[in-house]
Structure 1
Amino acid sequence: MAIDVTALRAHFPALDSGLAFFDGPGGTQTPRPVADAIAATLTGPLSNRGAVSPSELNAERAVAGFRAACADLLNVPANGVVHGRSATQLTYDFSRHLAKDWRAGDEIVLSRLDHDSNVRPWAQAAERAGVTVRWIEVDPETTELDLDSYARALTPRTRLVAVTAASNVLGTKPPVRRIADLAHEAGALVYVDGVHYAAHHLVDVPALGADLFVCSPYKFLGPHCGVLGAAPELLGTLRPDKLLPSPDTVPERFEFGTLPYEVLAGTTAAVDFLAAMDPGAGPAAGRRERLARSLAALHEHERSLRSRLQDGLRDLGDALTVHSKAADRTPTLLMSLAGRDARAAQAHLAARGVVAPAGSFYAYEPFTALKLDDPALRAGLAPYNTEDDVDRFLDGLAGFLSAAPGS
């Protein structure tokens, strides 16, 4: 299993700029087939969904294609796929849906490892409902979740556990299945933020033990939107506020207003692009099988680049501290620069054609819990990255660290 990175890169017009992109955790570059699918859908003919005119049928096909593609990506039924404007919007929506049944004295469990989009919606809903928030802490030595603190936080009153499948800043991948099994034993639902995870691994929602799983296609080569996957039976128990004439079927009851058909088509094209990265499975293989093969090859490609990047950072010595230390993690590294401004490092790299952002990346809880420098510099790998990209990043960072501050 292997990815022809040279052939893959030819599909990305943004790479013609000569830039080396390390900002994948914030959003990847877009391949031309995704842009073509968006443009073709927009230029139609296109109308609101229906069963009469060709333009109505085009809209129906865009929706059906999106649900089928995301079902293959997440291993959930197609009618368990919900579109949203973003993962944050979906989480806010579902926090309101679920909180309708919470009562004073109930509890929820949140994680100090999570992006704020999987913290604040739940904390705010809990405050409104009079529900207690308990926490899974982060071990500062390993940057992994402290499962002893989870055992203490989980009680028979727990209604929900919200946890990330991979940290967007540290790359840490918690043992989600173990966390989910314990939550289910306590009678709680499990909501998993898979935004960073889905960019690097084949998602299997049932195998993870997630009741609700959210991700963002623009983190894996697609357009800007969010996707939630769940069992249709569970979705059928939730009653969102909705317009009276709008559909009450699952999953349509959770999708408000006219869907962006062009975005749905772009997401389908992104999933198909991922599935075709390693062509070794052959055209007769199903899309899920092709996704499994391609994402396994992607994992090996990114693992090799991450090793090269880590070795190069280690050679820079005490001039920087890499905070990504978990045994199981994605190819994303967060680093602090001794006595130096990470935003200045970002600007230095940008002037040399290397895109690596500095900030805290909406990871309020990890930065606070681990007392991390804000801003910190983050380097995240994507399918189109190469060894040359890694070397350019390392050379640029070495040049920044060796120069006098302010020079």
Structure 2
Amino acid sequence: MFIVKSTETIFPIDKVRTQFPALERVYKERPAAYFDGPGGSQVLLQSITAISGYMQRGGANLHGTFPSSWETEQVITEAREAVADFLNVQANEVAFGANMTTLTIGIANALGKQFNAGDEIVVTEMDHRANVDPWLMMAEDRGLTVRWIPVDKEKLTLDMQNVNAIINEKTKLVALGMASNAIGTIVDLEPAVKRAREVGALVAADAVHAVPHMPIDRDQQDIDILLCSVYKFFGPHIGIAAIRENVFKDLVPYKLTTSPSYYPDKLETGTQNHEGIAGIRPAIEFFASFGEGETRREKILSGYLEIEKYENGLAGRLREGLSQIDKVTLWQAADDVPKTPTIAFQVAGYAPSEVCVILAEEHSIFTAAGHFYASTLGDVLDVNRTGGWVRAGLAPYNTEEEVERFINAIAAL
């Protein structure tokens, strides 16, 4: 087994920033500072080059008898192999789609054919609606009962105290989010996954917010259906589904009669975004570029350590700075709860949207406000009626100077 060893190295922030052309943008005579990564990261130059290169050489659809068609098939194969290393899955378990939401709706519709009235599914109060509504719609269509894992409003984590009752012998599917895209809490999946296995239920996990910040091992985490999106980790707008082979083979998606009936292609309805798929491998190899090892998987794992260490250092400083401002209320779990470098907060006397306008127009800082599609969480925590949160998300291209600028901008309010 490959053991990741952390080394004390200086994070190459200047080199990193040269790989993101968007960072050259100037707004209101100041360099733009992007704190909106949780809604979509900036795109790596290598991915942009791969996308444009594919289009410049001449794209084609699949199964042709000419070079550009063969090359398209090779692009897809290489992308699947890269995702396999990224998530520790098999390449033939990887399907692409327009986005995570579209893929989840397709999977839910297909999976629902295996369920019957009276069966149950479980979702959580913390999740993005993309890992809630597709399952709710399927449940309504099939006459299933829906149960919810609640949020602990004090701890800002999932409350797993009654998980053995919520997940029971009637449960067929448990849908969990790996990390909250709104407040950054990294979810301890183990109690729910363990209980799902005891009752023979499938586990679907939304890794969209987790993947940019932490390594994923689908099999080690015992997940059947794993979903994420490349545009959250420095690539193009492409969704990824990694479905365990024994589940995938029995899945019967809604598709054209003439389209493939074999996996993973049977989930990829219609012509795919081939140029976008060309940008996936460079985005994944960005993580590997920070690491060491003999294989791409090994490099990805050790690369994550360097990125996590840098991002968490910036996030710690941002949390510390904001916590010292009287008007600021931070919405975050306790220090002993792992979190992504995503900080949700409110400023007394200002609507979250007003804060974002001031940050952009007066400080050239780009961030967002709202419930970020984690609307049930916003309702439970009673923030939706006041406009939700301001959300600041950090990426490996952010700098200490940008963090200080952010803190000073909020303090100026």
Compute the TM-score of the two structures, normalised by the length of structure 1. Answer: 0.95
Cα offset, 1:157, TM superposition: 0.2
Letter in 1 for 2:282: A
Task: Tell me which of 136, 140, 149 is aligned to 1:123.
Answer: 136
Q: Which runs of 5+ in 1 are unaligned?
A: 401-407
Alpha-carbon distance in structure 2 between the residues aligned to 1:43 and 1:257: 22
Q: Which residue number corresponds to residue 405 of structure 1?
A: none
Cα offset, 1:31, TM superposition: 1.6
Q: Which residue number corresponds to residue 322 of structure 1?
A: 330
CA contact (8 A) 2:378 2:388 kept: no
Task: Tell me which of 333, 342, 350 is aligned to 1:332.
Answer: 342
CA contact (8 A) 2:19 2:45 kept: yes
Alpha-carbon distance in structure 1 between the residues aligned to 2:152 and 2:257: 48
Task: Tell me which of 8, 13, 19 is aligned to 1:11.
Answer: 19
Alpha-carbon distance in structure 1 between the residues aligned to 2:69 and 2:399: 43
Alpha-carbon distance in structure 1 between the residues aligned to 2:387 and 2:115: 36
Cα offset, 1:233, TM superposition: 2.3
CA contact (8 A) 1:73 1:203 kept: yes
Q: Which residue number corresponds to residue 293 of structure 1?
A: 302
- CA-based RMSD: 1.2
Q: What are the within-5 Å matches in structure 2 for residues 250-399 of structure 1? A: 250-276=263-289, 278=290, 281=292, 285-317=294-326, 319-326=327-334, 327-351=337-361, 352-372=363-383, 373-399=386-412
Q: Give CA-to-partner distance per residue, 1:69-117, whole Å, 9 cap, x none.
A: 1111110000000101011001111110111111111111110000011
Matched, 1:71 2:84: yes
Alpha-carbon distance in structure 1 between the residues aligned to 2:253 and 2:368: 37
Alpha-carbon distance in structure 2 between the residues aligned to 1:188 and 1:32: 42
CA contact (8 A) 2:163 2:195 kept: no
Alpha-carbon distance in structure 1 between the residues aligned to 2:125 and 2:259: 38
Alpha-carbon distance in structure 2 between the residues aligned to 1:286 and 1:394: 40
Alpha-carbon distance in structure 2 between the residues aligned to 1:70 and 1:97: 23
Cα offset, 1:46, TM superposition: 2.1
Q: What are the within-5 Å matches in structure 2 for residues 31-42 of structure 1? A: 31-42=44-55
Task: Tell me which moved more, 177-186 or 191-200.
Answer: 177-186
| Matched residues, number | 395
CA contact (8 A) 2:353 2:387 kept: no
Q: Which residue number corresponds to residue 208 of structure 1?
A: 221
Q: Which runs of 5+ in 2 are unaligned?
A: 1-6, 26-30
Alpha-carbon distance in structure 2 between the residues aligned to 1:163 and 1:31: 29
Letter in 1 for 2:300: L
Task: Tell me which moved more, 112-121 or 37-46.
Answer: 37-46
Alpha-carbon distance in structure 2 between the residues aligned to 1:337 and 1:149: 35
Q: Which residue number corresponds to residue 403 of structure 1?
A: none
Alpha-carbon distance in structure 1 between the residues aligned to 2:135 and 2:243: 18
CA contact (8 A) 1:170 1:332 kept: yes
Task: Tell me which moved more, 174-183 or 106-115.
Answer: 174-183
Alpha-carbon distance in structure 2 between the residues aligned to 1:310 and 1:244: 53
CA contact (8 A) 1:166 1:194 kept: yes
CA contact (8 A) 1:50 1:59 kept: no
Cα offset, 1:51, TM superposition: 5.9
Alpha-carbon distance in structure 2 between the residues aligned to 1:138 and 1:190: 19
Q: Give CA-to-partner distance per residue, 1:243-265, whole Å, 9 cap, x none.
A: 22211111011111112111111
CA contact (8 A) 2:160 2:191 kept: no
Relative to structure 1, the CA distance from residue 44 to residue 177 in structure 2 (aligned partners, 3 Å threshold; closer, same or farther) is farther
Task: Tell me which moved more, 108-117 or 44-53.
Answer: 44-53
CA contact (8 A) 1:44 1:58 kept: no
Bigger helix share? 1
CA contact (8 A) 1:45 1:58 kept: no
Compute the TM-score of the two structures, normalised by the length of structure 2. Answer: 0.93
Cα offset, 1:232, TM superposition: 1.9
Q: What are the within-5 Å matches in structure 2 for residues 234-245 of structure 1? A: 234-245=247-258
CA contact (8 A) 1:135 1:150 kept: no
Alpha-carbon distance in structure 2 between the residues aligned to 1:52 and 1:94: 32
